[in-house]
Amino acid sequence: MTGSPTEASTYRVSLDREACEGIFACLVRDDRFEEGRDGLAVLAGEEVTGPEAEITATFEDSQYERAKQAARACPVDAIEVAEVTDE
Ligand code: SF4
């Protein structure tokens, strides 16, 4: 189930920096994405170990739809957003 934009949910955002081409369509959709020092996207507050690293962060808030918009906007599909559900 997907929460409404105002409903809090738990979801995981993954950013594949190997696929990222620094086009920055994601930044304007969700400001948790930022330009890293190497010209590729990073997730704010997350550690970056290299240009080929995958960054994953779990969020619990009402911003799921924004993250989804960033993922949809990415032309190289470097962003994945998946809801975390209790089994
Ligand atoms: S939109 Fe995709 S390719 Fe562009 S900076 Fe964001 S993650 Fe990288």
pLDDT in tens, 47-63: 888 778 899 999 999 99
Please give the domain boundaries of the chain with CATH numbers for all domains. 9-83 (3.30.70.20)
pLDDT value at 1 more than 70: no
Does the Cβ of 80 fall within 6 Å of ligand 1? no
Decide: pTM greater than 0.75: yes
The residue whose C-alpha atom lies closest to atom 2 belonging to ligand 1 is 74
The string over 49-80, giving b where at least 16 C-beta atoms fall within 10 Å of a residue's C-beta and e elsewhere, is eeeebebebebeeebbbbbbbbbebbeeebbe
Ligand 1 pocket check: which of 13, 30, 74 to mutate, most ligand atoms within 8 Å of Cβ?
74
- 30 burial (CB, 10 Å; 0-12 / 13-18 / 19+) is buried
* pLDDT tier, 86 (very low <50, low <70, confident <90, very high otherwise): confident
26 pocket-lining for ligand 1 (C-beta < 6 Å): yes
Dig out the tokens for 64 from the structure. 């799921």
Tell me the pLDDT tens digit for each residue of 2-46: 545 578 999 999 999 999 999 999 999 999 999 999 999 999 999
The CB of 78 under 6 Å from ligand 1? The reply is: yes
